[in-house]
Structure 1
Amino acid sequence: MPGLRMPKVFLVFFLMSLLLGGMPRVLADPVVDEAMALSRLGATDLALGVLARQPVDHQAQPGRWMAREQARIEILGTSERWEQVVERTQGVPVELPVDFLIWTRTRQAHALIALERGREARDVLRPLIWFGAPNATDSWFRAWRRMLAESYSLDGRPEDALTALRRYRLDYGGEAGDAALLEARILLSVGRHEEAVNALTGVDGHEAGALRILARFRAGALAAEEAVSQAGRAARGQDRDSVAAARYLAVAAVAARSLQDPVQQIPVLESALVAQSRLGSGDDLYRLTAEPLWQSYLRLGERLANERQLLIGDDEAWFTLVDSLQARQPLAARGLLAVVALRSPMPQGQAQAHRRLSEQLATVEGLGESLLQALYLGDGPFGAADRVPAPVRHLLAETALGQGDLDTASRLMAGLERAPEGVDPFLWGLRRARTLILGGQEEAGIDGLYRVLSGVRQLEGEAADRFMQVLFDLQSVRRHQDALNLFQVVAPRLTERRRLRELMFWQADSHRALGEHEQAARLYLRSALLGDSTDMWALSARFQAAEALGEAGLVRDARVIYEDLIRRTPEAERRVVLRQRLQQLQLQQ
């Protein structure tokens, strides 16, 4: 059987004990203090860079080296870069003090467990248990034993894991509550539900409460209705966005699947499905898919259709019934729409049902967009972005954009070529192209821009500004040749002299980025001359032209333009900058 991963709550519990009872900071070090402060602010790479730029020798300055290495390993662990933790801890010199070696080897074992490499973790843990105990605190020794049990569970060896946990509980009694939680999870995963109930005897806490309800329900000691009631009540007693609430809701959903009435099931399943995003990486027992909720919708919809003698394929009759029920019986409406969406033989009816269902889901109080995402993008009938029906993809893409999730938005938009009903095709096409470009699907975004241009004979006003903005995005991802190709296609469609002037400037930027400095200078100067040659735009274009000429080695031309700019520029500060550039240029001659 697959291993059961350790929930983050369990990991955090014993890691905190390691930090509190383990190796203290070796010595005060401002570099370490800065790195740890940056890490706490979320700037992990910057923090690691601070440590990397100021290395010390472990032989010449062992105390300082250990302090910095400890900080580095902690930062890597906090950001869950487990492979790097393993790499760093493996390279620690063995001649360093034993308490530091114990700390690093324990971190190595923890990282291997996080990577689900149980056998390798045991190879690290066994020497610690057998030979490290005389030099370690009791909290270290307990942690190693718990981790050993976890390593067995990861490798699909539940009996070995249970044996290790029971020995641990025998030795530590009432202080072994965290081990009891892991034991109960393993017992539940192998179907030994009554034993799981017994393992939780006397164990307090929210996770113990959730596991206890689940174990009693699966053991037949708690009816489904009572399990739903207890778990739901416990969830409402927690902070709504907490992991504890998500676990209780998942237990309620498991029990709700045994209820006969889908009207009772659906609200429980909806709430639990949305809460799944709050679970940790090791909360496998509480994992749900969207499939049970879809099945409950279908059961309810089919029951109502049978009562009204509706026929599959007569979509208009189904939609008429939805219209009559939507305001006062929204669950019934969702059930009917789900049947048409998944079972109708008519593609047009399916599309309309998906659109209406998604719009209704997005308005569910307290769940809304999260429920829509979980149903269509979670494990279920669709799951992958390219399998989601087009009417829903439009809405999901808008939701993802609103959340700043460009990756999901670009995957959803990749296969969409038509604007949704009632939306301007030009503006939608631009938004789609921009999303694809910034989401990493640049080729699809570029194709989309050409598609938008194919339907436009002239670009002016706000439309021209919006199109140019997407070309700037293309430049920002360093697709300068593609931007230049599109600039050429856009130019004949621009009707305003000012916009042509701007276009030449942006063309010059791309040529310069490509190292084509002479061509860049030509375009900058053309931009300066196309209009008032003395306004700020023209002065800026002349300055950029001088820069490009200098980069092209045309020093004399660049000097002439700098001198002309000094005469034209009224601000003293800018004249100082221009004279400095001119002096730098003269040094090249």
Structure 2
Amino acid sequence: MDSAKRPGVPGRFVVRAVTQVPHRLVLLCLLLLCMTSAQADRVVDEAMAMARVGAAELALNLLAEDMPDPRAEPVRWMEREQARIEILGMNSRWEQVVERTARIPVEMPVEFVIWTRTRQAHALIALGRGHEARDVLRPLIWFGRHNASESWFRSWRRLVAESYDLDDRPEDALTALRRYRFDYPDDVARVALMEAHLLLQLERPREAVDALESVEESEADALRLLARLCAEDLSATDTLEQALARAQAVGRDTRDGARYQAIAAHAVQRGGDTTDGLAIMERALASQRILGEGDEVFHLSADLLWEHYARLGEREANRRQWLLGDDADWLERAAQLHSREPHLSRGILALVALRSPSPSGREQAHRQLGEQLARVEGHGQALLHALYLGEGPFGSPEQVPDPVRHLLVEQALEAGDLATASALMAGLHRPPEGVDPFDWGLRRARALILGGQEEAGIDGLYDVLSDVRRLEADPGDRFMQVMFDLQTVGRHDEALNLFQALAPRLVEARQRRELWFWTADSYRALDEHAQAARYYLRSAMAGNSTDLWGLSARFQAAQALADAGLVDDARALYEDLLERATEPGRRIMLRQRLQQLMLVD
């Protein structure tokens, strides 16, 4: 078979069985039998419940409280340690799993050591460190067989095979799997899937078809169809027909559907360039987001779609005898085709975007192409993301053309993906056409700050301020919201400098009053309590110091004065607040604060 026509099917299989950890009560039942009386550790149950609803850090802190001595209470200590490792694994904190499991003493009961070492190997594989995983697995296989169940031993053998694949040693992985299949002929389906993945990776599709013989599950069916296409046992036309029919049957928006659509795209690649084929490839690329761990053989590169676009564009250009560089004519033709032949329109735009000698022409083509893609019904946003941020001519945020970056930033912000939004914003220094520079500058600064690029976000806020001399109520409020984000990430020194630059630009007295309060908050966070008290009081006195805002500011000032050691001033403020307070609960709290000051004296 001609290698130039062979679709890329690189990938790794994933061992699924070992990801399901035995329940701690089942694992420790033998240990509990040796106890004369055993009561469930309620802390473990509470921590696991917290972790399941997302409060992993709280759960880990709870487990760390009153940690039992492993020598005095070994069973209780092991139960808590297992819960800790499970919670770390549930949150994919694999480095911590490796570190924690490596410290388990080997003199612990053998069942517990086996469980922790297996979790260590699984974490190492999740981190892509196959060689280290084998270093953990070999002693288990050599010395642990007589102390472990057959299911553990099988899991270790499968993990060894996966570790070889992680190290780009597919032949060794295949050898390990075939030895496993010889020893465990009853485990046919699981091993067949793993073998098929490896054989496709090794470009041995006929053997993959043979390995999948009599395996009927859905993933096997997709693998078999792909292998038959690669082996040329099935024509591209027949493969395409079958793949589309099966994707429709199982649902395009399912994992199985995404697999079949990827196969359809590979068939299209072999069958020639058509607008119908382009539509199929677009849907397939957009559906890649649904695929999961272990679906690498169904992976599609964005390069395939870019190449298909460009070839359609070239065909139209040759028919009309256009020359590269006549960007205006090309872009006008693409606009004319947009409504009735959108895929051909996108082909023309892609060709200009990739090959025009004019930077402005490329930028306009990317803008029009990005806007078209984003509006594709049902999967436009996923397609835009996959085409520009997937494996292809761009592939990373800093390489995406500016007009498309703006579109992707909006998508990322809507999805709450601040890391992607921040990475895309980092290289942008001007807003898109028709967008207010002030609003865009604030969005950019906020995305950078919350996305971890705080210095760039701070510089962005100064850029925004440098372009305005006065801030009315609404823009002033929006700027202050980003300042709160800066305080949230702990950049209080920078917040103070920006508050100072912002103050003379605020038109409304209300906003200046609020600004003094938030300035005080930053001083307090920096343990500069006297300065905090000064600005709380400035905020209180900037308006009616007896209104709700003024009373709140004076209360905060009293606490800051107490923290600064200015006890008499704090007492005076608390006493004045007590005289004005009418709510019983607030009066009780103020008396408690005064009593605390008496203890300081």
In which range does the TM-score fall when normalised by the shorter chain? over 0.9
How do 1:214-229 residues align onto structure 2 when only pairs under 5 Å count? 214-229=226-241
| Alignment of 1:121 onto 2:125 | no
What is residue 35 of structure 2 aligned with on the other side? none
Worse overlay, 274-283 or 415-424: 274-283
Corresponding residue number in structure 2 for 1:494: 506
Secondary structure of residue in 2 paired with 1:95 = coil
Q: Please list every run of 5 or more consecutive structure 1 residues that lacks an aligned counterpart in the other structure.
A: none
Q: Deviation at 1:224?
A: 1.2
Residue number in structure 2 paired with 1:274: 286
TM-score normalised over the length of structure 1: 0.93
- Check if 1:329 corresponds to 2:333: no
Shift in alpha-carbon separation, 1:174–1:253, aligned structure 2, 3 A: farther
Residue in 1 that maps onto 2:98:
86
Q: 2:148 aligns with which of 132, 136, 146?
A: 136
Distance in 2, matches of 1:519 and 1:109, equals 54
C-alpha separation between the residues in 2 aligned to 1:561 and 1:297? 72
Match of 1:242 in 2: 254
AA paired with 1:582? L
Per the TM alignment, residue 367 of structure 1 is displaced from its structure 2 partner at its CA by: 0.9
SS in 2 for 1:128: helix
2: CA distance between counterparts of 1:130 and 1:299? 57
- Give the AA of the match of 1:332: L
Q: What is the rounded CA distance, in whole Å, between the counterparts of 2:163 and 2:186 in structure 1?
A: 23
CA shift at 1:544, angstroms?
1.7
Distance (whole Å) between structure 2 residues aligned to residue 112 and residue 478 of structure 1: 34
Pick one of 6, 14, 34 that aligns with 2:13. Answer: 6
User: Which residue does the alignment assign to 1:478?
Assistant: 490
Of 236, 246, 264, which aligns to 2:276?
264
User: Post-superposition shift, 1:401?
Assistant: 0.5
1:389 matched to 2:393: no
Identity %: 61
Residues 71 and 476 (structure 1), Cα distance of their counterparts in 2 relative to 1, 3 Å cut:
closer
8 Å contact from structure 1 (residues 3, 155) kept in 2: no
2:185 alignment partner in structure 1:
173
Q: 1:110 aligns with which of 122, 142, 154?
A: 122
Q: Deviations over 1:562-585 (max 9, x none)?
A: 111122223232222222112211
CA–CA distance in 1 between the matches of 2:249 and 2:228? 20
- Which one is further off, 374-383 or 23-32? 23-32
Looking at structure 2, the residues matched to 159 and 486 of structure 1 have their Cα atoms a distance apart, in angstroms, of 60
Question: For structure 1, which segment, 210-219 or 465-474, has the greater mean C-alpha deviation from structure 2 after superposition?
Answer: 465-474
* CA 1:21–1:529: 2 relative to 1, 3 Å: closer
**Residues 400-452 of structure 1: CA distance to partner in whole angstroms, max 9, x if unpaired?**
10001111112212222222222222222222222222222222222222222
1:505 aligns with 2:517: yes
Post-superposition Cα deviations, 1:440-472, rounded to whole Å, max 9, x if no partner, equal: 222222222222222222112211211222222
Q: After TM superposition, give the deviation of residue 291 of structure 1 in Å.
A: 0.8
Q: SS state of the match for residue 258, structure 1?
A: helix
- Structure 1, 50-59 or 118-127: larger mean CA deviation: 118-127
Which amino acid in 2 is paired with 1:6? F
Distance 1:567 1:126, change over 3 A: closer
Q: 1:552 aligns with which of 564, 571, 579?
A: 564
Equivalent of 2:112, from 75, 84, 100?
A: 100
Partner of 2:537: 525
Q: 1:72 to 1:274 in 2, by over 3 A?
A: same
1:109-164 deviations in whole A, cap 9, x for unaligned?
33333334334433443443344333333322322332233333334444443333
Q: 1:326 Cα shift?
A: 0.8
Question: Which of 161, 164, 189 is the aligned partner of 1:152?
Answer: 164
Name the residue aligned to 1:57: 69
Alignment of 1:333-352 (within 5 A): 333-352=345-364
Q: Which residue of 2 aligns with 1:467?
A: 479
Alignment CA distance shift 1:530-1:57 (3 Å): closer
| Distance in structure 1 (CA, Å) of the matches to 2:81 and 2:24 | 18
**Secondary structure of 1:499's partner?**
helix
Find the aligned partners of 2:492 and 2:136 in 1 and give their Cα distance.
51
1:23 partner letter: L
* 1:313 maps to 2:325: yes
Question: Which residues in structure 2 correspond to 1:22-61 (within 5 Å)?
Answer: 23-25=27-29, 27=32, 28-61=40-73
Q: Partner residue of 2:212?
A: 200
CA 1:135 to 1:446, structure 2 compared with 1: closer, same or farther past 3 Å?
closer
- Cα 1:319/1:198, change in 2 over 3 Å: same
Cα shift readout 1:506-552 (whole Å, capped 9, x = no counterpart): 22222222222222222222222222232112111221221222122
Map residues 396-415 of structure 1 onto 2, 5 A cutoff: 396-415=408-427
The one-letter amino acid paired with 1:221 is: D
Of the structure 1 ranges 285-294 and 87-96, higher mean CA displacement relative to structure 2 is found in 87-96
* Letter of the structure 1 residue corresponding to residue 306 of structure 2: W
Helix, strand or coil: the match of 2:383? Answer: helix
Of the structure 1 ranges 372-381 and 18-27, higher mean CA displacement relative to structure 2 is found in 18-27
Q: Which stretch shows the higher mean deviation, 295-304 or 559-568?
A: 559-568
User: Which of 215, 238, 245 in structure 2 is aligned with 1:233?
Assistant: 245
Secondary structure of 1:237's match? helix
CA distance in 2, matches of 1:79, 1:400: 23
What one-letter code is carried by the residue in structure 1 that aligns with 2:513?
Answer: R
Moved more, 450-459 or 87-96: 87-96
Report the Cα offset of residue 477 of structure 1: 1.9
Instruction: Tell me the residue number matched to 1:286.
Output: 298
Alignment partner of 1:566 is 2:588: no
User: 1:14 and 1:467 mapped to 2: Cα distance?
Assistant: 50
Q: Classify 1:453/1:107 alpha carbon distance in 2 versus 1 (closer, same or farther; 3 Å).
A: closer
Task: Quote how far apart the aligned CAs of 1:190 are.
Answer: 1.4
Aligned-pair CA distance for 1:187: 1.6
Q: 2:590 corresponds to which letter in structure 1?
A: L
Would the aligned equivalents of 1:152 and 1:161 in 2 still touch at CA under 8 Å? yes
Relative to 1, partners in 2 of residues 1:316 and 1:160: Cα closer, same or farther, differing over 3 Å?
closer
Query: What displacement does 1:282 show?
Result: 3.4
Q: Give the partner amino acid of 1:437.
A: I
Aligned-residue offset at 1:238: 2.8
Within 2, Cα distance between the matches of 1:541 and 1:19? 53
Secondary structure in 1 aligned to 2:490? coil
Deviates more, 1:127-136 or 1:375-384: 127-136
- Other-structure match for 2:6: none
Query: Shift in Å at residue 334 of structure 1?
Result: 0.7
Separation in structure 1 between the aligned mates of residue 151 and residue 63 of structure 2, nearest angstrom: 29
Change (3 A) 1:177 1:416: same
Output the amino acid matched with 1:573.
G
Q: Which piece of structure 1 moves more, 236-245 or 257-266?
A: 236-245
Distance (Å, rounded) in 1 between the aligned partners of 2:131 and 2:496: 56
Distance verdict in 2 for CA 1:20–1:180, change over 3 Å:
farther
What's the CA shift for 1:48? 2.5
47-56 vs 329-338, which moves further: 47-56
Q: Is the 8 A contact 1:301 1:337 kept in 2?
A: yes
- Tell me the CA shift for residue 22 of structure 1: 7.3
Aligned residue in 1 for 2:3 = none
Query: Cα gap change, 1:562/1:116 in structure 2, threshold over 3 Å: closer, same or farther?
Result: closer
8 Å Cα contact 2:419/2:452 also seen in 1 = yes
Distance 1:463 1:24, change over 3 A: same
C-alpha RMSD of the superposition: 2.5
Secondary structure of 1:173 counterpart: coil
**Count of residue pairs the alignment pairs up:** 585
Q: Which runs of 5+ in 2 are unaligned?
A: 1-8, 33-39
Query: Which residue of structure 2 lines up, in the alignment, with residue 584 of structure 1?
Result: 596
Could you tell me which amino acid in structure 1 is paired with residue 246 of structure 2? A
